[in-house]
Amino acid sequence: MAAAAYDTCRVPSNAWVFDFDNHYYESPDAFTRHQDPGLGYRGVRWADIDGRRRLLVGGTVNSYIANPTFDPVARPGSLYDWYRGNPKRQNVREAFGELEPLRPEYQDHDQRLKVLDEQGLVGAVLFPTQGVGIEDALNADPEAAVKVFHGFNRWLHEDWGYAYKGRLFAAPYIALIDPVAAAAELQQVLDRGAIVVDVRNGPVSVPGGWRSPFDPVYDGFWGLAEEAGVVVAAHSGVDGYDVLVQMWENGGPESSLFRSPLRGAVTKGRAITDFFLAALCQLLFERFPRLRMASVENGAFWVPDMLHRMDDSANRNPGYFAEHPRDVFKEHVWVTPFWEDDVPSLLSDMSVERLLLGSDWPHAEGSKRPVDFITESLSGLSETDVRKVARENALELLGLSYD
């Protein structure tokens, strides 16, 4: 992808960091403004239930976000101590602390640009908050899923823009449940200027079972992504892996980020590991050798074990892989580590050129400020490597330059 220079958008001289994992909080009409009215209760609707505003998805209350109005909402990084050993021995509700009114920069791109200036960010990729919890709720209705996310992506383009002022890059969400529709949706967002798109990091739920997103039936999507040079980001969300917890616990189907201690222990890193194991074993990058992907908000702790598994798979299947899968992964996939990942030790399995800074701001689980990621996670790297992870790798991946 040719580099797009953004030297006329008044980037402050002190801004140099590029955050590959920023978020917005969806406005109330994010899923309804452009939704096909013919969907009715098959789509996304608001409802007042027991005095609270809730989202109905496919006719069922969606519990992925406890308060989908986001007003009030947790302060950025409010779970900082809870994720760092929980020294006060709080439960998660206590750790969230006092909520605050919804800030304008969470839903307005011009206000967000002002905050970027204050935070020293030259740019950021923006991912959904509620949006990553919707696809799984529509897995039994492919037509509804396609239409819901088509409307969502239209809202995203109007309210945030796919490349606003050359600094905010909101990633459209592509549901892969229908292969033909996924390729068509990708083409439409490309026509509107998208340079990065978001897909679920898990198997595709289809009526009657599951299908790998790397099945050749999706080659129209992957081929278009390769041809366009768009980055396909696999961002964490509701990945369908709660079924693994339900094998061990007899709880209901309600999905919640902090529902069970076992959930975190069983599913952490599981979906993203399987996602890229499937991509490598099903030869995605052999079919599309110029395709580039990113793993976002999944950490990087899973990478060494995944690569060691692929080493074993390659050794046991001589001649199956045209190129060693370890080398293929290191060429085609960029990763955002978590703050707790031992980044220097990762470099024995990953090139520093394939690591990206991702703060998860303004979520409670993320950094209080995006630049805090540098002092927390990159202190063991040289100044040159810090600059690569915090800026240069993202610009190269997205084809950007700021003069």
CATH number of residue 294's parent domain: 3.20.20.140
Nearest-angstrom CA–CA distance, 186 and 225:
8
Helix (H, G, I), strand (E, B) or coil at 185: helix
pLDDT of residue 124: 98
Inform me whether the pLDDT recorded for 186 exceeds 70. yes
Query: Which residue has better confidence, 8 or 361?
Result: 361
Residue 142 lies in a domain: yes
Q: Is residue 75 part of a domain?
A: no
Answer whether residue 59 is part of any domain: no
The residues, ordered by sequence, that sit 6+ positions from 9 with a Cβ below 8 Å of its Cβ are 165, 166, 167
Cα angle 180-183-188, degrees, rounded to a multiple of 5:
125
Answer yes or no: is 74 within a domain: no
pLDDT over threshold 70, residue 7 = no
Q: Are strands 121-127 and 168-170 parallel, antiparallel or unpaired?
A: parallel
> Within a domain: residue 144?
yes
**Type of residue found at 384:** T
Q: What is the strand order of the sheet 333-335 is part of? A: 196-200, 231-235, 293-296, 333-335
Pick 2 or 43 by higher pLDDT. Answer: 43
| Domain membership flag for residue 86 | no
What phi-psi label fits residue 40: left (phi over 0), alpha (psi between -120 and 50 degrees) or beta? left
Partners of 196 in the β-ladder: 231
* Alpha-carbon distances, residue 131 vs 31, 47, 49, 284, 403 (angstroms): 9, 18, 21, 26, 34
Within-domain flag for 43 = no
Residue 321 sits in which domain range? 12-27+107-401
Q: What is the per-residue pLDDT for 251?
A: 57
Reported as a single tens digit per residue, the pLDDT across 217-271 is 999 999 999 999 999 999 999 988 888 888 887 755 444 444 578 888 888 889 9
Distance CA 112, CA 74 (A): 17
List all residues 6 or more positions away from 110 whose beta carbon is below 8 Å from its beta carbon.
none
| Distant-in-sequence contacts of 51-60, Cβ < 8 A, 24+ apart | 55/31, 55/130, 57/134, 57/137, 57/138, 58/137, 58/138, 58/140, 58/141, 58/144, 60/137
Residue 128 lies in a domain: yes
Element (H, E) at 274: helix 270-281
C-alpha span between 93 and 87 (Å, rounded): 15
Look at the chain and report how many structural domains it folds into. 1
- Rounded mean pLDDT, 106-135: 97
Q: How far apart are alpha carbons 167 and 337 in whole angstroms?
A: 22
For residue 332, give the nearest of 215, 228, 233 by alpha carbon.
233
Q: Regarding predicted confidence, which is higher, 182 or 7? A: 182
What's the CA gap between 356 and 294, in Å, rounded? 9
Closest CA to 343 of 381, 294, 373, 296: 381
The average confidence (pLDDT) of the chain is 93
